[in-house]
Chains A and B, each alone.
Chain A
Amino acid sequence: MNRAEFEKEVLLIQEPLRRFLYNLCSGDAALGDDIAQEALIKAYLNLSSFSGKAKFSTWLFRIAYNCFCDNKRASKKYASAELNENIVKDNESADSKFKNQELYMAMSKLNEKERTTVLLFYMEDRSLKEIAVITGMPENTVKSHLSRARGNLSNHLNQIGYERR
């Protein structure tokens, strides 16, 4: 893959990749973007190690997830995954602010692995196999994290009386 092809792929993948990282960082857009930049630079410098066994986007997600884990280990900042009011952007509408808060509140009911699998499965429409590649977990472990997360989220949604608007 050359530079032009890489740029084309980046333009396609940047939105889901950044959304995934924003949500993993509990809405910290600046941090999410920093991790996305770091991941994409790493991917570019190691393009030759892309074997083509998985999809390119899956490979990028894997690098991004590893960068997130490294970052988290270094800062220990998101242990509780609490919503920080300061990171909600001013230009967001009241409705999207509310929706984001609702989402991060639900995410805070899950541990990091459950959150990762749920975001990849439900929000980014990734298959179990792809999630296993991205997170480096066996497929059965992914299934059990997802199943536990489903239970926790369902309870939370029932508690808050969530119904489709």
Chain B
Amino acid sequence: MKEDDKLKMFFDEHKQSIEDNGFSGRLFATLDVLPEPKPKYEKSRLIIAIFGAVGALLFALLGGYAALLDGLSQFGSVFGDLKSATPEIIISIFFSVCALFSLGRYAIRE
């Protein structure tokens, strides 16, 4: 007989069955006199909502839509001619990818 099987048998054979014997009743009676647990207050959600709103406002006020279209057209030309890729463009692509990745992760988690 394998040692592992022997151990399994030993523990199966020695597994006690535990009667409730009023344990749950006593526990629930104690819970009755305790205050209701407070619902989770997530600060992170509030912070995300505030910064998201501020970001959207700044995007609209500072002409973000036009800049986005401009950026996308430049992005297309970068692939057309890789030599025209400036450090600014590379950095902006890097941060855009990071932002999209974070957004994706947040969406999956939620």
Contact = CB atoms under 8 A, between A and B. Distances in A.
Nearest to A45: B37
A102 B14 contact: yes
A47 interface: yes
Interface stretch (A10-18, A69-77, A133-141): A10-18
Interface residues of A, number: 36
Contacts of B20: 14-15
A111 interface: no
B106 interface: no
A40 B10 CA distance: 29
A150 B36 CA distance: 44
A46 B38 CA distance: 8
A45 to B, nearest CB: 5
B27 A99 contact: no
Given A48-B38, A122-B11, A162-B10, A150 B3 contact: yes
Contacts of B8: 122
Main SS at interface, chain B: helix
Contacts of A36: 23
A106 B31 contact: no
A96 interface: yes
28 contacts: A3-B31, A7-B28, A10-B27, A10-B28, A14-B20, A15-B18, A18-B23, A19-B15, A22-B16, A37-B27, A41-B30, A44-B31, A45-B37, A46-B37, A48-B39, A49-B40, A99-B14, A106-B10, A118-B7, A122-B10, A123-B14, A150-B7, A153-B10, A154-B6, A154-B7, A162-B10, A164-B9, A164-B13
B1 to A, nearest CB: 9
A14 to B, nearest CB: 6
A57 to B, nearest CB: 15
B18 A18 contact: yes
Contacts of A157: 6-7, 10
A33 interface: yes
B40 A154 contact: no
A7 B15 CA distance: 25
